[in-house]
Amino acid sequence: MERSDRVFRGRRLTPEEITRDEEIRRRVQDEFPPLETGLHACSAFLSAESGQVIETFRDTTQSLSSVISAMPAKNLYHDVVAHALTADGWTITDDPLTLSYGGKDLFVDLGAERSTLAAERGGEKIAVEVQSFLNPSPVRDLEEAVGQYNIYQTVLAETEPDRQLYLAVANRVYEGLLSDRFGQLIVTRLQLRILVFDEQIERIVQWIK
């Protein structure tokens, strides 16, 4: 005779037994929820976690975008001047050099330092703003360069008075625009410090203080 695992009741359950069975069934379902319910809960948890990760990632990328957008693009001769300074014995310490004042941030192309032999003088520190002068109007380029220079110089005088600011220009610019009568008037009257570099050999050819 075959064995059967089924349980046959020969009588109808009493109300008390029905209540008891329903209570047992409820407890079992609470302890072991159906697969669909478990999957739904898992999905909800993952969605919440993914949402938090996505939100954090979005905040981070927005912060980075704000910083990147605030920083100007590198000048055409940026790396040329950096190499020229290094060859001249300077150490690039900031690329770019950040100037902060009154809740505003400004970015000078390069900050550099060099040790001197005279111990009483200490190390030299400079800030270098590179200008390409490639626009059709060199005078317009000079206006923008001098405006930038004056703003940076004013902030440096308050924040780092021992750091000298230089305007870096290619040799062709100095021998052209800045060496004529008009250019010399601007350089002399405004007391501009000029760093003249050779863009072909990536070397500094003249310091004008």
Q: Is residue 135 part of a domain?
A: yes
Instruction: Please report whether residue 8 resides in a domain.
Output: no
State the angle between helix axes of 181-189 and 138-159 in degrees (0 to 180), rounded to the nearest 10.
10
Instruction: For 128, list phi and psi in degrees, rounded to 5.
Output: -125, 125
Does one domain contain both 19 and 115?
A: no
Residue-wise pLDDT for 92-111, tens only, equals 999 999 999 999 999 999 99
Q: For residue 96, give every residue at least 6 positions away whose Cβ sits within 8 Å of its Cβ, in sequence order, or none.
A: 71, 72, 107, 108, 109, 110, 111
Q: Which of 72, 182, 91 is nearest to 131 (CA)?
A: 72
Residues 46 and 105 occupy one common structural domain:
no
Q: Are residues 27 and 91 in the same domain?
A: no
Is residue 100 domain-shared with residue 159, that is, in the same domain? Answer: yes
Q: How far apart are CA 31 and CA 201, in angstroms?
A: 79
Domain presence at residue 91 = yes
In the chain, how many domains are there? Answer: 2
Element (H, E) at 78: helix 78-87
pTM for the whole thing? 0.66
4: in domain:
no
Same domain, 183 and 158: yes
Q: CATH number of the domain that 196 lies in?
A: 3.40.1350.10
Domain membership of residue 120 (yes or no) is yes
- 102 found inside a domain: yes
Q: What is the pLDDT of residues 49-61, one digit of tens each?
A: 555 655 655 555 4
- Euclidean distance between CA atoms 34 and 41, whole angstroms: 11
Q: Give the domain range for residue 27.
A: 15-70
Residue 5 lies in a domain: no
Q: Does 47 lie in the same domain as 88?
A: no
Q: Are residues 62 and 87 in the same domain?
A: no
60 and 87 together in one domain? no
- In DSSP notation, 179-194 reads GSHHHHHHHHHTT--E
Do residues 87 and 62 both lie within one domain? Answer: no
Q: Looking at 26, 52, 70, which one is the last position of a domain? A: 70
Cβ–Cβ < 8 Å for 128, 85: yes
E-strand stretches of the chain? 91-94, 97-101, 104-108, 110-114, 124-130, 163-170, 194-198, 203-208
Same domain, 96 and 25: no
User: What whole-number distance in Å separates Cα of residue 166 and Cα of residue 130?
Assistant: 9
Residue 198 lies in a domain: yes
Spatial separation of the C-alpha atoms in residues 70 and 106, rounded to whole Å:
9
Decide: 174 and 196 in contact? Cβ < 8 Å. Answer: yes
- Alpha carbon distance 167, 128 (integer Å): 6
pLDDT by 10s per residue, the chain, length 209: 445 444 445 567 677 777 777 777 777 666 665 555 555 665 665 566 555 655 655 555 454 444 444 556 677 899 999 999 999 999 999 999 999 999 999 999 999 999 865 444 457 999 999 999 998 999 999 999 999 999 999 999 999 999 999 999 999 999 999 999 999 999 999 999 999 999 999 999 999 98
Is residue 54 located within the same domain as residue 109?
Answer: no
Query: Where is the domain boundary, 70, 90, 111?
Result: 70
Residues 84, 178 within the same domain: yes
